[in-house]
């Protein structure tokens, strides 16, 4: 396309599509608000809107290319959002390179087990729901922690005395409060870890050099469960046979 760089497809191939989707959604919301303030309505060509809807439903290289090719006249307007959503781009956020140093309230996997307060090992029945993954592993309930204005329950998994997995969870009954907390949790993770490496409905993943951090949400019997997991890759651990 004439008004795009010759390597525009290569740029799209490097793009974090979930980030581009969020940033573009913000752009369209801003355009709509600006038009409404003038007593007007933001209007875009039908093919452009159709392409955006397709990309929004499935943010991928294929839908982005299809969008650009079907609405080439406006492609340069949104290309900068894709370009900025590539690693090193102005929209791409850089955070700590490790999962071990990620903090949830008072805790991180850098801390010794003694720093997790009062510990209570899972019961036999609880282990049926949270099975051990490694030889020498034990899983504990730890003291609760304050995070983002809420009290979170904490579990920590330990191998040979060293924490390797940290799980924080909270359930919220009020949908409005739950949405605010999900947004806050995402922003807190993003502030520490940078742009997420993978996103799906109700799931955000940050892969790091030594493990990963996962933010997961789900509806549970009328409540919204919000879970954050930090897991160390744990070099040298041997899986159970």
Q: Is residue 107 part of a domain?
A: no
Q: What is the mean pLDDT of residues 123-140?
A: 93
Q: Is residue 48 part of a domain?
A: yes
Name the pLDDT band for 220 (thresholds 50, 70, 90). Answer: confident
Query: Are 139 and 224 found together in one domain?
Result: yes
pLDDT of residue 100: 94
Residue ranges making up the domain that contains 25: 8-84
Query: Are 68 and 119 found together in one domain?
Result: no
Q: Is residue 241 part of a domain?
A: no
Query: Are 167 and 221 found together in one domain?
Result: yes
Q: Render pLDDT for 85-131 as a digit per residue (tens, 0 to 9).
A: 999 999 999 998 899 999 999 999 999 999 998 999 999 999 999 99
Q: Is residue 124 part of a domain?
A: yes
Q: Is residue 224 part of a domain?
A: yes
Mean residue pLDDT of the chain comes to 92
Tally the domains of the chain.
Answer: 2
- Point out the domain boundary residue: 84, 104, 123: 84
Of the candidate ranges 133-137, 172-176, 225-229, the one whose mean pLDDT is the lowest:
133-137
Question: The CATH number of the domain where 124 resides is what?
Answer: 3.30.310
Name the pLDDT band for 1 (thresholds 50, 70, 90). Answer: low
Q: What is the mean pLDDT of residues 50-63?
A: 96
With a pLDDT cut of 90, the percent of the chain lying above it is 85
Q: Is residue 2 part of a domain?
A: no
Q: Is residue 15 part of a domain?
A: yes
- Point out the domain boundary residue: 63, 84, 105: 84
Q: Is residue 94 part of a domain?
A: no
Name the pLDDT band for 235 (thresholds 50, 70, 90). Answer: very low
Query: Are 155 and 46 found together in one domain?
Result: no
Name the pLDDT band for 209 (thresholds 50, 70, 90). Answer: confident
Query: Are 117 and 78 found together in one domain?
Result: no
Q: Render pLDDT for 113-126 as a digit per residue (tens, 0 to 9).
A: 999 989 999 999 99
Q: What is the DSSP string of the chain?
A: -TTS-TTHHHHHHH--HHHHHHHHHHHHHHHHHHHHHTT------HHHHHHHHHHHHS-SHHHHHHHHHHSTTTHHHHHHHHHHTSTTSTT--B--S-STT--BTTB-TTS-GGGG-S-EEPPHHHHHHS---BTTEEEEEEEEEEETTEEEEEEEEEETTEEEEEEEEEEES-HHHHHHHHHHHHHHHHHHHBS-SEEETTEEEEEETTEEEEEEEEEETTEEEEEEEEEE--TT--B--
Q: Render pLDDT for 177-200 as a digit per residue (tens, 0 to 9).
A: 999 999 999 999 999 999 999 998
């Amino acid at each position: 396309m004439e008004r795009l760089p010759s390597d525009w497809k290569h740029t799209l191939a490097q793009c974090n599509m979930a980030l581009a989707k969020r940033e573009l959604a913000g752009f369209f919301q801003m355009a709509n608000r600006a038009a409404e303030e003038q007593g007007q309505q933001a209007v875009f060509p039908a093919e452009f809107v159709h392409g955006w809807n397709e990309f929004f439903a499935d943010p991928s290289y294929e839908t982005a290319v299809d969008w650009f090719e079907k609405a080439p006249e406006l492609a340069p307007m949104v290309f900068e959002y894709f370009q900025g959503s590539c690693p090193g781009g102005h929209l791409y956020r850089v955070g700590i390179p490790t999962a071990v140093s990620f903090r949830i309230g008072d805790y991180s996997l850098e801390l010794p087990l003694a720093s997790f307060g009062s510990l209570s090992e899972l019961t036999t029945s609880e282990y049926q729901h949270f099975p051990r993954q490694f030889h020498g592993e034990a899983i504990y309930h730890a003291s609760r922690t304050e995070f983002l204005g809420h009290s979170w329950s904490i579990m920590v998994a330990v191998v040979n005395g060293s924490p390797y997995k940290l799980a924080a969870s909270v359930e919220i009954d009020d949908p409005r409060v739950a949405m605010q907390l999900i947004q806050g949790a995402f922003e807190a993770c993003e502030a520490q870890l940078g742009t997420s490496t993978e996103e799906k409905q109700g799931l955000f993943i940050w892969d790091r050099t030594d493990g990963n951090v996962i933010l997961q949400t789900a509806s549970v019997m009328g409540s919204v469960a919000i879970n954050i997991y930090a897991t160390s890759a744990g070099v040298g651990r041997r899986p159970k046979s």
